Amino acid sequence: MAKKNAPAQAGQIRIIGGQWRGRKLPVPDSPGLRPTTDRVRETLFNWLAPVIQQARCLDGFAGSGALGFEALSRYAAHVTLLENERSIARQLEQNAVLLKANNAHIINTNTLNWLAQAGEPYDVVFLDPPFRRDLLNQTLRLLEQQGWLAPEAWIYVETEAENGELEIPVTWSLHREKVAGQVAYRLYIRQQHEEADDDLD
Contact 154, 123 (CB under 8 A): yes
Domains present along the chain, CATH in parentheses: 12-190 (3.40.50.150)
**Cα 82 to Cα 65: distance, rounded to the nearest angstrom:** 9
Q: Would you list the DSSP string of 59-86? A: ETT-TT-HHHHHHHHTT-SEEEEEES-H
pLDDT in tens, 58-95: 999 999 999 999 999 999 999 999 999 999 999 999 99
Strand partners of residue 190: 172
**Cα 111 to Cα 103: distance, rounded to the nearest angstrom:** 20
Give the lowest-confidence range in 12-26, 105-119, 186-200.
186-200
pLDDT in tens, 143-176: 999 999 999 999 999 998 887 678 999 999 999 9
Whether residue 191 is predicted with pLDDT greater than 80 in this model: the reply is yes
pTM for the structure as a whole: 0.89
Length of the chain: 201
50 phi and psi angles, rounded to 5 deg: -70, -15
Spatial CB neighbours of 169, under 8 Å, sequence gap ≥ 6: 140, 141, 144, 190
Closest CA to 124 of 143, 103, 146: 143
Determine the 3-state secondary structure of 191 from DSSP: coil
Determine the 3-state secondary structure of 104 from DSSP: strand
